[in-house]
Amino acid sequence: MSAVQNPPEKMMFQLTLRRRGISDQAVLRTMEEVPRELFVEPGDREDAYRDSALGIACGQTISQPFVVAYMTEQLKLQRNHRVLEIGTGSGYQAAVLSRLSREVLTVERYRTLADAARARLETQGYDNIEVMLGDGFDLVGVTGTFDRIIVTAAMEQIPETLTDLLESDGGILIAPIGPQHGAQTLVRIVRTASGLERKDLVDVRFVPALPGIAREL
């Protein structure tokens, strides 16, 4: 039996999330249900449920489970929400979001990652996720507003192109903000009647968010 099929491995996965403060039962249940081993590189499947980030194609990463759970919990998702994700990666975060919301639009600048994530999500039956090849700083073709926005790569500051897409009635945006090569702070922005309210959450480290669509990959 492989490590990813070992019940104690999954039990420790859940225990680690609870010990680190994740308390939302819907988030915990979703983290247990989404098969993380199918979103990591084949050679990393035995480590899929360790609480650590893992490398994927194009020099990107799949975030550690705690960070995925924490960001998801901070979004306070509801079933009727429309969600925008910047940085598809392997598609794991989008899969988690899709179980807790109405629809997810996830944008990826690397064609290799976008195509692989789209195929992976379709194969697993995630039919409320749209994967789009695009630029997270210049979202051409994206229409309407979103109840929730999540950025899974580090931005030095949040562009107005993103906050402008945030639903006016209590919309929430979560993003890692800070220097590209160093520690960042996970920031939550809430749109209220009086404007945008910012709260710094925890220190994190993400790969940088880059403008444009990648030419080679």
Which of the residue ranges 66-70, 150-154, 178-182, 194-198 would you say has the lowest mean pLDDT? 178-182
pLDDT at 2 over 80: no
Q: What is the mean pLDDT of residues 169-193?
A: 93
Enter the pTM of the model: 0.93
Query: Which CATH number do you get for residue 115?
Result: 3.40.50.150
Radius of gyration of the chain (CA): 16
User: What's the pLDDT at 1?
Assistant: 35
> Residue 131: which domain range?
52-204
User: What's the pLDDT at 7?
Assistant: 56
**What is the spatial distance between Cα 163 and Cα 175, in angstroms, rounded to a whole number?**
11
Strands (E), 75-183: 82-86, 103-108, 129-133, 148-151, 172-177
Catalytic residue among 63, 90, 98, 101, which?
Answer: 63
Task: Answer yes or no: are the C-beta atoms of 109 and 136 closer than 8 Å.
Answer: yes
Q: Residue 176: what are its φ and ψ, rounded to 5°?
A: -85, 125
> Would you say residue 39 lies in a domain?
no
Domain count, the chain: 1
Task: Answer yes or no: are the C-beta atoms of 214 and 111 closer than 8 Å.
Answer: yes
> Would you say residue 43 lies in a domain?
no
Task: Answer yes or no: are the C-beta atoms of 186 and 174 closer than 8 Å.
Answer: yes
Distance from chain centroid for Cα 101: 13
Alpha-helical (H) ranges within 34-155 are: 65-75, 92-98, 111-123
> Would you say residue 77 lies in a domain?
yes
Q: What is the mean pLDDT of residues 38-45?
A: 95
> Would you say residue 12 lies in a domain?
no
> Would you say residue 111 lies in a domain?
yes
Tokens 């880059």 correspond to what residue? 210
> Would you say residue 127 lies in a domain?
yes
pLDDT at 6 over 90: no
pLDDT at 184 over 60: yes
Residues in the chain: 217
Strands (E), the chain: 54-55, 61-62, 82-86, 103-108, 129-133, 148-151, 172-177, 184-192, 195-204
Number of CB atoms found within 10 A of residue 58's CB: 17
pLDDT at 173 over 60: yes
Which of the residue ranges 22-31, 114-123, 132-141 would you say has the lowest mean pLDDT? 132-141
User: What's the pLDDT at 4?
Assistant: 45
Q: Which two tokens stand for residue 31?
A: 């983290």
> Would you say residue 200 lies in a domain?
yes
Query: 117 vs 39, 89, 111, 120, 123, CA distance in Å?
Result: 8, 7, 10, 5, 10
> Would you say residue 6 lies in a domain?
no
Tokens 């949040």 correspond to what residue? 158
In the residue annotation, 63 being an active-site residue is answered as: yes
Task: Answer yes or no: are the C-beta atoms of 70 and 89 closer than 8 Å.
Answer: no
pLDDT at 35 over 70: yes
